[in-house]
Amino acid sequence: MTDSHQQQHQNFETLAIHAGQAADAQTGAVVTPIYQVSTYKQDGVGGLRGGYEYSRSANPTRTALEENLAALEGGRRGLAFASGLAAEDCLLRTVLVPGDHVVIPNDAYGGTFRLFAKVAERWGVQWSVADTSDPTAVREQIRPNTKVIWVETPSNPLLGITDIAVIADIARHAGAKLVVDNTFASPYLQQPLALGADVVVHSTTKYMGGHSDVVGGALIAADAGLGEELAFHQNAMGAVAGPFDAWLVMRGIKTLAVRMDRHSENATKVAEMLRSHPKVAQVLYPGLPEHAGYDIAVKQMKAFGGMVSFRIQGGEEAAVEVCNRAKLFTLGESLGGVESLIEHPGRMTHASAAGSALEVPSDLVRLSVGIESADDLLADLRQALGA
Ligand SMILES: *Cc1c(COP(=O)(O)O)cnc(C)c1O
């Protein structure tokens, strides 16, 4: 707490490496150790040495990550979970009760949609869908019992951009909380709490971890009171990040700023090449001036990130063929790692949205542009597209 307070004036790159990461008090180890432990010796009943009693409630490695997350998003409390969806589940069961209503984006992450449509709904939570890039569409979905507006920007897989400050205003007037899934941007490129959001959600599996070697999630609350309620539910529900997973995410975060700069540079080059390619019908990248959300992206993001989607001439079969022909771009789900990935959302990540309001175009290809040589990435895409 005092650590992050003293560090408030420091810049992002410094906080990423130092916030919550003081050298180990006992050994001087520069890197936070992996406290692979479940319980802690007490000096007499109730005499806790470092405030730790059981690792579901708190673990020193996880604490280091949680303090770091709070500092990077500019929140009062950070919490680390076993996965992004575990974080979302904890959030929705903390802020919603049966009968409450949530507005979710019409191109939400498929797993987020499934959590509301197939799980939360069974427990009496109502939801409706809006194109959150259109403030009027969001306002139209507000009901007297709306408690949460959920926003993902840039969105997955269509890379839509939502004006966080505008939706924060709508949420405030409706007496609802604004939740922003900041997975695609990361706190280096975008800081939703500063724009008025109440809670930030992360799949730390993606850019925060950054190396495709860990599954994790996070919640960061702007308000200390809500942070405390979330921490209560984190412990009560139990889907915490284990110490090794927390350590891997922390290790990833130290290079987040340099990775995001390179992801953004490479993605811009890829988007520009695709835009001029005869077999490509449309490129979806918020860094292109013709993108509908470009002006808002310029206003609220530092750069435009590593995700690029495009629609191809020739429909679904052509899209699937490009995915199959790519060599350097690995065919696979997930995103945000140093290596480039390619996928067909309609048949892969977003297959569960088929037939719903969140169904994605069948000619869509999604790229997670990595930090390899841009020239090599462009060459691979050209050959996959067939010259
Ligand atoms: C991956 C992802 C999630 C879910 O996170 P998991 O770590 O897979 O549980 C949520 N939101 C977005 C935008 C994602 O990309």
State the CATH number of the domain containing residue 95: 3.40.640.10
CA 320/CA 330 separation, integer angstroms:
13
Same domain? For 220 and 323 the reply is no
Cα of 210 vs centre of ligand 1, distance in Å, is 13
| CATH (domain of 293) | 3.90.1150.10
283-313 residue pLDDT tens = 999 999 999 999 999 999 999 999 999 999 9
Q: Note whether 185 and 285 are same-domain residues.
A: no
Using one digit for the tens of pLDDT, what is the confidence trace for 72-88? 999 999 999 999 999 99
Ligand 1 pocket residue status of 183, Cβ below 6 Å: yes
| pLDDT confidence of residue 387 | 57
The residue nearest atom 7 of ligand 1, judged by CA position, is 84
77 closest CA partner among 47, 87, 85: 87
Looking at ligand 1, which residue's alpha carbon is closest to its atom 6?
84
CB 112 near ligand 1, within 6 Å: yes
Ligand 1 lined by 245 (C-beta under 6 Å): no
Asked whether the predicted pLDDT for residue 222 surpasses 60, the reply is: yes
**CA of 334, closest atom in ligand 1:** 1
Is there a single domain that holds both residue 242 and residue 281? no
Pocket of ligand 1 contains residue 217 by CB under 6 Å: yes
Per-residue model confidence as pLDDT tens digits over 132-179: 999 999 999 999 999 999 999 999 899 999 999 999 999 999 999 999
Sheet strands side by side (includes 341-343): 280-284, 307-312, 364-368, 341-343, 330-331
How far, in Å, from the CA of 117 to the mean position of ligand 1?
Answer: 16
Name the pairing type of β-strands 126-130 and 146-152.
unpaired
Alpha helices in the chain (DSSP H): 2-6, 12-18, 60-73, 84-95, 110-114, 135-141, 164-174, 186-189, 224-237, 243-253, 256-275, 294-300, 315-325, 374-385
pLDDT one-digit tens code per residue, 340-370: 999 999 999 888 778 887 788 999 999 999 9
**Same domain, residue pair 277 and 246:** no
Residues 6 or more apart from 152 whose CB is under 8 A from it?
105, 107, 108, 109, 112, 132, 162, 180, 181, 183, 184
Residues 191 and 165 sit within 8 Å (Cβ to Cβ): no
362 and 328 both lie in a single domain: yes
pLDDT at 342: 98
248 and 316 belong to one structural domain: no
Whether residues 10 and 130 share a domain: the answer is: yes
Residue with tokens 């495009």, as numbered in its chain = 310
Rounded mean pLDDT, 329-335: 95
With a 6 Å cutoff on the Cβ, whether 204 touches ligand 1 is: no
243 lies in the same domain as 356: no
Pick the last residue of a domain from 253, 274, 294. Answer: 253
Task: Identify the pLDDT of residue 3.
Answer: 47
Report the residue among 203, 204, 348 best suited for mutation to probe ligand 1: largest number of ligand atoms under 8 A from its CB.
203
Regarding the beta carbon of 111 and ligand 1, being less than 6 Å apart is answered yes
Q: Among 153, 205, 213, say which to mutate for ligand 1: greatest number of ligand atoms within 8 Å of CB.
A: 205
52 and 167 fall within a common domain: yes
Mean pLDDT to the nearest integer, 111-116: 93
Distance of CA 65 to CAs 17, 78, 191, 250, Å?
11, 8, 18, 6
For residues 178 and 30, membership in a common domain is answered with yes
My answer on whether 207 and 269 are in the same domain is: no
Q: Is 85 in the pocket of ligand 1 (CB under 6 A)?
A: yes
Enclosing domain of residue 145: 3-253
Paired tokens of 203: 């799949």
- Cβ(383)–Cβ(325) below 8 Å: yes
Identify the residue whose tokens are 């140093």.
338
- For the chain, give the longest Cα–Cα distance: 74
| Radius of gyration of the chain measured on its C-alpha atoms | 21
**Arithmetic mean of pLDDT over the chain:** 95
Q: Kindly state the tokens that stand for 278.
A: 């005869």
pLDDT for the residue numbered 186: 98
Using the atom order of ligand 1, give the atom closest to the CA of residue 152: 13
Percent of the chain residues past pLDDT 90, beyond the cut? 89
Ligand 1 centre to CA of 53 (Å) is 30
Q: Is residue 52 over pLDDT 60?
A: yes
pLDDT value for 1: 41
* Final residue of a structural domain among 196, 218, 253: 253
9-48 per-position pLDDT tens digit: 899 999 999 999 999 888 999 999 999 999 999 998 888 8
Assess whether the C-beta atom of 152 lies below 6 angstroms from ligand 1: yes
Number of structural domains (the chain) is 2
Given a cut of 60, is residue 2 above it in pLDDT? no
The answer to whether residues 245 and 118 belong to one domain is yes
Q: Which of 220, 253, 286 is the last residue before a domain boundary? A: 253
Residue 303 Cα to ligand 1 middle (Å): 21
Tell me which residues are annotated as active site.
Answer: 56, 109, 181, 206
Site to substitute for ligand 1 among 151, 206, 341, 352, most atoms within 8 A of C-beta? 206
Residue whose structure tokens are 């797993």 = 111
Q: Distance between CA 160 and CA 298 in Å, rounded?
A: 13
CA distance 96 to 102: 9
Structure tokens at 94: 């903390």
Q: Which residues pair with 177 in a beta bridge?
A: 148
